[in-house]
Structure 1
């Protein structure tokens, strides 16, 4: 019983690795702006009929381009997250001055002003 489970586990690992390589190659093909549609179609046809050999050849032929496209995709993702991240302020005094301006304009309440002031000063609790 144990050898059967071992072989099943080994084949399952190979199957998921095979799927990962196919998905990786197809994802990289669609990121590649330099390859035209016919080349992409040829790679996909080869992936269908000779998947393992095609995956290895693709990585050998396009290795440098794969790394560049991965880097570009990751840098775009970081830039998108940076848009949502609040900008770091110069000092707590600037944060408190901005909060006071909001309070004076009636945009925030006194409690919200106290919370922002406490946060700018680095206090964990609002009453501290």
Structure 2
């Protein structure tokens, strides 16, 4: 039974990590090519051909040429996703509280029953409307 030295295990794990990292980077670049709305169809096709036919050089050239805008697109996408999530939560949760019309209705009912004076009603109405 052959032994597999610890250093060889380390190198194997390092190469496996770099290989996975490379595929992650490749897919990230391809995703960014298709996500960029400022890039036309021929531009997208050109970058895609470069990245797929010369993967290592193509990805490095893409990162050098468009790395900054790639980060800006990531930030923009994250903000859009966050805003969409907040909008969904606001709509799902419903209104934050009773509307001004409902509050005025309650105040009017209290005034009609005599629980509050007309002056108190006027003050509360002024607070609601301002």
- TM-score normalised by length of structure 2: 0.62
Gap regions ≥5 residues in structure 1: 90-94, 102-128
Distance 1:8 1:44 in 2: 30
The total of aligned residue pairs comes to 93
| Residue of 33, 37, 50 corresponding to 1:33 | 37
- TM-score normalised by length of structure 1: 0.63
Alignment of 1:64-103 (within 5 A): 64-86=68-90, 89=96, 95=97
Structure of larger gyration radius: 2
Gap regions ≥5 residues in structure 2: 103-130
| CA deviation map 1:40-76 (0-9, x unaligned) | 1221222122212211111111123212211210111
Q: Are 1:5 and 2:5 matched, yes or no?
A: no
User: Could you say what the CA RMSD is over the residues aligned between the two structures, in angstroms?
Assistant: 2.2
